[in-house]
A and B are shown apart, each in its own frame.
Chain A
């Protein structure tokens, strides 16, 4: 009885009921499936683009890193660190200054380490007070040899005095010896890789050519010492 009533109502109003059912079903499909899928497609497209961009960047970075030779790089780092170290290198610098002084024709009278680090320059530095004796004509050579040394040093005070009954000149120089601790972080995976410019390569070649303290040569083979078999 009930079915017959429903069928009769449907047959009477099917011209209206059918379009309403179609509209509701279409709306349901649009709201529940099409719109969420399309919005996900759009947002995922952005994620996909970012990922593929990152992939390309990382691929290029990995290829670039592969082109560098580890040994060559570590040697370059050692040259750079010998010119501008991460720590105070008193012993090396004292030896170097003594060499420069004697090469410039002067004699070291006194050499003292400054008590405080100076921040006058854009980097850390410590002071060395150098007192030398020699000909005044050679003073300019001494200053330029100190400042053009591949171990970075800057003169910030000069005092020259002539002894009354002597040809020799006493020179007191304050030298700022530059150093800087290594950076705290060395970049993330995504950080861009620095490229060495031609200027950097030229500078490294210069540092390698006249390295103030020759770095240990990895290829040098020490002669064998002692017995081949110590139990014999």
Chain B
């Protein structure tokens, strides 16, 4: 059985009711938005306050640690000074200079029978030797030893004979200049 619906209300009333319903919806949404904004604002303020408190706590901890380190400054100075000294000591202690190494090398390369009258090694490591060689064989040996790269451990770059003479006693008087590598 079909119902018959008859609206006897004026059309203005219907329109007003519809407008009101729409406004209530807008109002509810607006209030919700305002409340959300207020909530977000108060949340951000609260977070900021909490963060400030945390930062103050950490800052006071930092200043306490600074005071502690200041009271131990003597130890820090000692450690830094010690490190500063040890760096250089490590660099030089137990390491022979070029001059001593060259002297030790020549001491090894020149036969015992050679009489060295004078020996000098300067700051650049250049060596000048004046020596007496009993015979030509020893002279050969000495020069061969000096120019042999393997025997000299690659420490000698050049050997030059400045002067050589043979005396009546058949002894060779030699002056050598040796340049280091």
Interface residues of A (CB under 8 A from B): 14-15, 18-19, 21-22, 25-26, 29-30, 33-34, 37-38, 40-41, 44-45, 47-48, 51-52, 54-55, 58-59, 61-62, 65-66, 68, 70, 73-74, 76-77, 80-81, 83-84, 120-123, 136, 139-140, 143-144, 147-148, 150, 152, 154-162, 174, 178, 180, 182-183, 186-187, 189, 193-194, 196, 199-200, 203-204, 206-207
B82 touches A183 (CB 8 A): no
**Interface flags, B100-131, vs A, CB<8A=1, else 0:** 10011001000000011111111100000000
- Out of A14, A70, A80, A148, name the residue touching B75 (CB < 8 Å): A70
Q: Which of B31, B97, B118, B120 meets A154, CB within 8 Å?
A: B97
Name the contact of A40 in the complex, choosing from B48, B58, B65 (C-beta under 8 A).
Answer: B48
Closest beta carbon of chain B to A68's beta carbon, Å: 5
- Given contacts A65-B76, A150-B93, A156-B97, is CB(A58)–CB(B66) below 8 Å? yes
A52 and B58 contact, CB distance less than 8 A: yes
Q: Are B82 and A196 in contact (CB-based, < 8 A)?
A: yes
Is B26's CB within 8 Å of the partner chain A?
yes
Contact of A152 among B30, B48, B88 (CB under 8 A): B88
Instruction: Indicate if the CB atoms of A25 and B34 lie closer than 8 Å.
Output: yes
A111 to B7, CA, bound (A): 133
CA distance A76 to B59 in the complex (A): 35
- Which B residues are in CB contact (< 8 Å) with A68? 75, 78-79
B34 neighbours in A (Cβ, 8 Å):
22, 25-26
Give the distance to chain B from A206, nearest Cβ to Cβ, in Å.
Answer: 8
A–B Cβ pairs within 8 angstroms, 23 of them = A22-B34, A25-B34, A33-B44, A38-B44, A47-B55, A51-B58, A51-B62, A65-B76, A76-B78, A83-B85, A84-B88, A122-B91, A123-B88, A139-B107, A140-B100, A143-B100, A156-B97, A158-B100, A159-B118, A180-B88, A199-B90, A200-B83, A206-B93
Q: Which residues of chain A are near B161, meaning CB under 8 Å?
A: none
Which residue in chain B gives the minimum CB-CB distance to A176?
B97
Dominant secondary structure at the A interface = helix
Q: Which of B41, B65, B84 contacts A29 (CB 8 A)?
A: B41
Q: How far is the CB of B164 from chain A (nearest CB, A)?
A: 19
A18 touches B23 (CB 8 A): yes
Given contacts A38-B44, A41-B44, contact A51 B84 (CB under 8 A): no
- Among A45, A48, A55, A77, residue most surrounded by chain B Cβ atoms (within 10 Å): A55
Chain B residues in 8 Å Cβ range of A22: 30-31, 33-34
Interfacial chain B residues near A84, Cβ < 8 Å: 85, 88-89
Min CB gap B41→A, angstroms = 4
Contact between chains at B33 and A83 (CB < 8 Å): no
Cβ of B70 and Cβ of A189 under 8 Å apart?
A: yes
A29-B37, A159-B119, A204-B86 as given contacts; A65 in contact with B75, CB under 8 Å? yes
Knowing A65-B69, A155-B100 are in contact, say whether A37-B47 is a contact too (CB < 8 A): yes
In the assembled complex, how far is the CB of residue B107 from the closest CB belonging to chain A, in whole angstroms? 6
List B contacts of A207 (CB < 8 A): 89
With the chains together, A47 CA to B95 CA distance in Å? 50
Structural contact, B58 and A157, CB atoms closer than 8 A: no
Nearest A residue to B23 via CB reads A15
Give the residue of A45, A81, A160, A194 whose beta carbon is less than 8 angstroms from that of B119: A160
